Amino acid sequence: MPANLSFVAQFGSVLGRLSSTEGRLLASVGLALAAITLAALVVPLLLRQGRRLVARRYLGGTIDDFVGQVNDRFPVTTPVVLLLRSLQVGISLVTGLTLLVIWDQQWLIAQAYALVQFSLADVLAWVFTGVLVVGAYVGMGLLEDAVAAFSREADRMTAHQEQIVTRVGQIGLLVVVAFVLLGFWGVDLGGLLVGAGFLGIVVGLAARQTLGSLIAGFVLMFSRPFEIGDWVEVGDEEGVVTDITIINTRLENFDGEFVVIPNDRVADRAITNRSQKGRLRLRVDVGIDYDADPAAAAEVATAAIETVDHVEETPKPHVFPREFGDSAVVLEMRFWIEHPTPPKRWRTQARVVERVKAAFGREGIGIPFPQRELSGRAETGGVRVDDERSEPVRTDGADRDGTHN
């Protein structure tokens, strides 16, 4: 038996006095009952009392803010449960080893020890690895809380930017921890970096568009041309922004369809944000008779527009003659709405058309239909209109009077 297990031999010689099967059986039952009592009753009771003592003495206000944040995110119940399970596993392990010694089976302990021989340095290395992994997990949670707190204080950080900064920070933390662990366990980082470089080249060539969208996602995050909930037009697509990721942007158009646009296409196209300013100017054209007074018609239209609910008083609505149409003088009506949305735009434009048409009808201002003026050359006698009723052409070969030639 190895020297490290000499205590097992000494312990076995002490228990060797239990030569009879009855004595060993009695000792086994007593040991099992003691282990169950210790693991199921005594240890949980001691841990509960210790937890109350720690919570009352340290977590009641004397602990610093950092530990307080850790306790808020990872309640003290979690480490207490882990400690309880560890102690219970330890008690079970010691009980099992003792039972093997009682029944004179020390050779099993020696074989198990030979299979899992760990030096003190190996144990410390595994402990350091576990501590580093747990620390990385706790650090990721603390980083998320720190970014959220900063976002609440900073007026110019959106929820999307908060999410991106959190994820990038967490990925960076995991990369640092991974390199530290690889170096600690003696992995050749030089060869690993060379292999990662070649892998990066292959992945970069195979996923150029995805990487382009990824880079464009960071550009959009910092340039902030729009936010979630904004009404935007990106190239030929128009809708309300419902989601922004590092790879793509999602819009909901006015037909209820979701349009997913890669971020590299978003960055390459003109972006019109109709919500960023908080108000939007609308334009509606209306034609009046050439016989009507444009100034008077503009006053009537302005007064009618001002009665519409969603039209802003400041800036005031403005109506002016814009062009000579084929059949009418075209007036352009301009007015503003606040907090623009597609439904509000449609409703406001519809109300303006209804009110202006009703006002023109009351004031006798005509809105003409399309008209055409016909003229002929003088040398041909101009255009003559025949007042006689034209008769349909007979298809049976008869004359107008019904006779046949």
Task: Answer yes or no: is pLDDT of 40 > 90.
Answer: no
Task: Answer yes or no: is pLDDT of 196 > 60.
Answer: yes
Task: Answer yes or no: is pLDDT of 155 > 80.
Answer: no
Give domain limits for the chain: 3-117, 119-206, 227-273, 279-363
Residues near 308 by beta carbon (within 8 Å), at least 6 away in sequence: 335, 348, 351, 352, 355
pLDDT higher for 75 or 349?
349
- pLDDT tens per residue across span 218-254: 777 777 788 888 999 998 899 999 988 878 889 998 8
Task: Answer yes or no: is pLDDT of 61 > 60.
Answer: no
Of the listed ranges 199-213, 283-297, 374-388, the least confidently predicted one is 374-388
- Per CATH, which fold does 227-273 belong to? SH3 type barrels. (2.30.30)
105-112 average pLDDT score = 69
Q: What is the pLDDT of residue 151?
A: 78
- Determine the Cα–Cα distance for residues 12 and 100; give it in Å rounded to an integer: 9
pTM, entire model = 0.50
DSSP-assigned letters across all residues of 317-346:
PEEEEEEE-SSSEEEEEEEEEES--HHHHH
Q: Classify domain 279-363 at the CATH class level.
A: alpha beta
- Determine the Cα–Cα distance for residues 181 and 179; give it in Å rounded to an integer: 5
Q: What is the pLDDT of residue 25?
A: 79
- pLDDT tens per residue across span 287-343: 999 989 999 999 999 999 999 988 998 889 999 999 998 889 999 999 999 999 888
| 102 close to 28: Cβ distance less than 8 angstroms | yes
Identity of the residue numbered 102: I
